[in-house]
Amino acid sequence: MAWTLLGIAGLLEIAFALAMRSSLGFTRLWPSLLTVATGVSSVVLLSLALRTLPVGTGYAVWTGIGAAGTALLGMALLGDPVAPLRLACIALILAGVIGLKLI
């Protein structure tokens, strides 16, 4: 159950980052509210997952999901630059997340 909560928390972290961009510096109401809601929800689920998972593993997996997911969606949806080296770095992040899950 902790890993499921952590995965959902990571997905909410991605939503948080994308909503923050859409809020335009918290100048737009609905994206700003979504930013706060997803950010708080993500941290709450992370804290629940950390009841049973080691903090180093849980936090690293949470940030890895958020970082890799946000970078990929930024490239796919927002026109962020796509370069082989960027993709390789994202693959390394994902490999680290998978490694932490398996160990």
* CA–CA dist 48, 42 (Å, integer): 10
Q: Retrieve residue 75's tokens.
A: 């490239």
* CA–CA dist 91, 58 (Å, integer): 19
Alpha-carbon distance values, 24 to 31, 32, 74 (Å)? 8, 8, 15
Q: Which residues contact 41 (CB under 8 A, 6 or more apart)?
A: 9, 12
pTM of the model: 0.93
Per-residue pLDDT tens over the stretch 18-66: 999 999 999 999 999 999 999 999 999 999 999 999 999 999 999 999 9
